Copies of this chain bind each other. A is one copy, B any other.
């Protein structure tokens, strides 16, 4: 019997079975059905999206519909939504034959993740103890998109090496872990992390890296021919880069305080991003002997200003402080792509397809500590008394917390997110090693044909064939015994 299990295991590991015809539909239908049932039990409209809004307005002396949170946050929500689906999706299309999977699987797991996130985040943050119901509004949708982002970042480290079924599991567990660490960091430790340097990028980055480390493929070089870009796939990736870059001010300001909070977060992020573009270009050019720029750096390291400002964007970090953050992180991230990613692969057995280590994990961690420092030096002179209280939410049981203490808690929060990412990632990685999820063989990675119907590149065939036929006749005229047929 034990022998038989070994046989089975050998069979699965020997020749990978990538047929997901039953597992993928089963998982999709199961998860979606579960979502419907759980939404039926728990999820309701909040008072701003319910048709009792007219009554709510009257009861709360709200004079105008424009005070509905929808109008404060909807433009930012749509920008974040674009970042999740077009930004993350297209950023990963750079591989020459994996664009369908990059954008398609991103689409699939984000669409599932946001539903599961509404439930998980609802249970932790918005569960009404009396009715047992979760109420959702526009801010919940933004938070759900944020929560997906953690798993999409992890996808970046795994790109090309896992099946869609595995990705759904990564998302299922990733969103769950996210909700727990977010609850610990934001509620228990009472950290501020509007743009998610800690809870999204640092967690998501280390989560993906840990999974990738567990799933290490010693023979991945067998797919080396496909692990690279072509001219137009790099252009598609730039669509992703630019939409992420342009809308990052919305990302970091989407759930900050109304008024100056959102305003300041947008300005700071805008500046940090601009700064990191210039240092990325500088280091990229300096690293090549002809001074040529590398698309990998431009596509990724330019975004690092946004990641690193995820915590501090809503603080009074000052405009030049934002520029300094972008300046330093642009350099660090580009050096990461040049030296750290190859090092990790060679010595730590860590294959990180998109370099999330340099774009999310490290900059997210730095962003967490930058936030801690900026929080620790906050003063009433700079913020005003009211501003300090509203920015750091020093109310209720936290009314006596000082900025210095807050800084300490922010730093602690960053460590919590790293720990959750690594430990959670290792556990999920072990689950994914079960040989039943349909992942590709080592010589079959980075290839859309494993999971997609890919159109044949027949564009040039008809004229060539015609031409060949023509030439064949010519050949036959000249020499009956020889001919040359080809197809490209």
Contact = CB atoms under 8 A, between A and B. Distances in A.
21 contacts: A22-B286, A26-B282, A28-B281, A29-B282, A36-B275, A37-B320, A43-B319, A45-B318, A51-B316, A51-B388, A74-B75, A78-B79, A107-B245, A111-B275, A138-B263, A225-B458, A230-B457, A468-B486, A478-B483, A479-B481, A482-B482
A436 interface: no
A283 interface: yes
A396 interface: no
Contact of A239 (B72, B239, B277, B455): B239
A320 B488 contact: no
Question: Which of A76, A112, A266: most chain B CB closer than 10 A?
Answer: A266
Contacts of A324: 36
B267 A455 contact: no
Contacts of A86: 239, 242-243, 246
A52 B387 contact: yes
Given A231-B455, A464-B486, A242 B103 contact: yes
A453 interface: yes
B74 A274 contact: no
A218 interface: no
Given A36-B324, A71-B71, A271-B115, A288 B453 contact: yes
A32 B327 contact: yes
Contacts of A290: 19, 21
Nearest to A27: B282
A436 to B, nearest CB: 14
A6 interface: no
A227 to B, nearest CB: 11
A242 B85 contact: yes
Contacts of A455: 96, 228-231, 234, 295
B19 A258 contact: no
B51 A291 contact: no
B266 A138 contact: yes
A108 B281 contact: yes
A93 interface: yes
A137 B263 contact: yes
Contacts of A121: none
A267 B93 CA distance: 29
A285 B245 contact: no
A384 to B, nearest CB: 5
Nearest to A47: B260
A136 interface: yes
Contacts of A335: none
List of 7 A-B pairs having minimum Cβ-Cβ separation, nearest first = A21-B291, A51-B387, A53-B260, A65-B259, A111-B277, A488-B488, A39-B320
Interface in A251-294: 258-260, 262-264, 266-267, 270-271, 273-275, 277-279, 281-283, 285-286, 288-294
B67 A66 contact: yes
Contact of A99 (B228, B235, B463): B235
